[in-house]
Chains A and B, each alone.
Chain A
Amino acid sequence: MPGVNTSSLPDIIFMLLFFFMVATTMKEVDMKVEIKKPTADQAIKIEDKDNVDFIYIGFPLDAENGTEPRIQLDDALVTDYTIVSDWKMAKAREGKTAFDIVTSLKVHKLVGMRIVSDVKEELRDIDAIKINYSADKR
């Protein structure tokens, strides 16, 4: 019995590869908090992802970090919300002010509003007033 002809196998795999390259986006960070985003039918896709900073607020995945909601900036969990404005200033791109860069808040839907309110006030202190509340399109 002759073997199965596998000469087109690379082509098939390449097709799959291209599909994933086109349909997915790079992960920005390693998640240290669990985030189940709320849904909203008015949510609009963020087009210019390069000019957006992401702040993650959710429940720690690692039990060592407790069960209270925590803020994740880039790859690290922070305890004190007042660090947010320094972090945002340090991320400023050349020729742009904090005002120009949108801040996307990715928040777990069960997190209380106090921590969100604190972060928003921090951002207002440095005029970073353009906010995007991350939500999945319903």
Chain B
Amino acid sequence: MPRPIQEINAGSMADIAFLLLIFFLVTTTMDVDAGISRTLPLKRPVDPNIEYPEVHKRDVLEILANSNDQLLVEEKFVEIEDLRDIVMDFYTANDNGMDNNPNMPMFEIVNPGSCNVKLAALNADLVKTPDNADLKREIEKWTSKLQLCSSMPGSTYYEMSNMSIIQLKNQANTSFGLYIEVQNILKSVVNELRQKMCDELDWGVYLELKEDGPVEDQDKLKMLRVLVPERIVEARIDR
């Protein structure tokens, strides 16, 4: 005769669940990891014989955050609230190819003809030195530009002077908080301008384009980097 099945005593179930709950409360955190991504420049030995092209003052936007957490742009004190407009002006003052503001970088017109001439010259150089990584990168850049021309209405676009840089200087006691504030402003200007480009070209949402996504996304990102370059130079703080 089979024994009658006894009911399991579930009275301690709550205690067990409580234990598990407390374990998870202790070992986990709520905070999400978010942040601003940047790629630092690669460190490469510098060829002492290289001839540097002349740097024009108008191409450089110098932002200094000093040890007292004050902000200086081009050696003049500014408030953090005004920095965004200054950076925006740096990117857009002459973006129609005119010399509207002689203190801001020039833009030059790029068309398929000039791209093809440049590409032909670079490819000829590559045949001579097939392992030159700089040349390959240059060719990739001009291929992007050519591709960009075909995507743009009128097959031409205006490109910011390729010497234009944002120079970010800090001092030993500049607080990390102020530094992030400045980085955040630079990022927000670039993101806004790239999104504007995406809207004009009907490319969707800029932040949804993924580096490891489909090829067309990668191409779009490459082209956006040509259209709205993000060239930030930082000097090491002396010891």
Q: Which of A's residues lie within 8 Å of B, judged by CB?
A: 6-7, 9-10, 13-14, 16-17, 20-21, 23-27, 38, 40-46, 49, 52, 57, 102, 104, 107-114, 116-118, 120-121, 123-125, 127, 129-137
Closest residue of A by beta carbon distance from B30 = A24
Complex alpha-carbon distance, A31 and B61, angstroms: 39
Number of cross-chain contacts by CB at 8 Å: 159
- Chain A residues whose C-beta falls within 8 Å of the C-beta of B32 in the assembled complex: 25, 45, 137
**Is the Cβ of A46 less than 8 Å from the Cβ of B33?**
yes
B interface vs A, CB < 8 Å?
A: 10, 13-14, 16-18, 20-21, 24-25, 27-43, 65, 170-177, 179-181, 183-184, 187-188, 191, 207, 234, 236-237, 239
Q: Which residues of B contact A7 (CB under 8 A)?
A: 10
Closest 3 CB pairs of A and B: A109-B177, A24-B28, A13-B17
Partner of B36 from the list A17, A43, A117, A121 (CB cut-off 8 Å) is A43
Q: How far is the CB of B223 from chain A (nearest CB, A)?
A: 21
Determine if A42 and B188 form an interchain contact, defined as CB atoms under 8 angstroms apart. Answer: yes
Interface centre among B21, B24, B33, B173 (most CB of A within 10 A): B33
Q: A109 near B176 (CB under 8 angstroms)?
A: yes
Inter-chain contact A112/B173, CB cutoff 8 Å: yes
Q: Within the complex, which residue of B27, B30, B36 is in contact with A23, where a contact is CB–CB below 8 Å?
A: B30
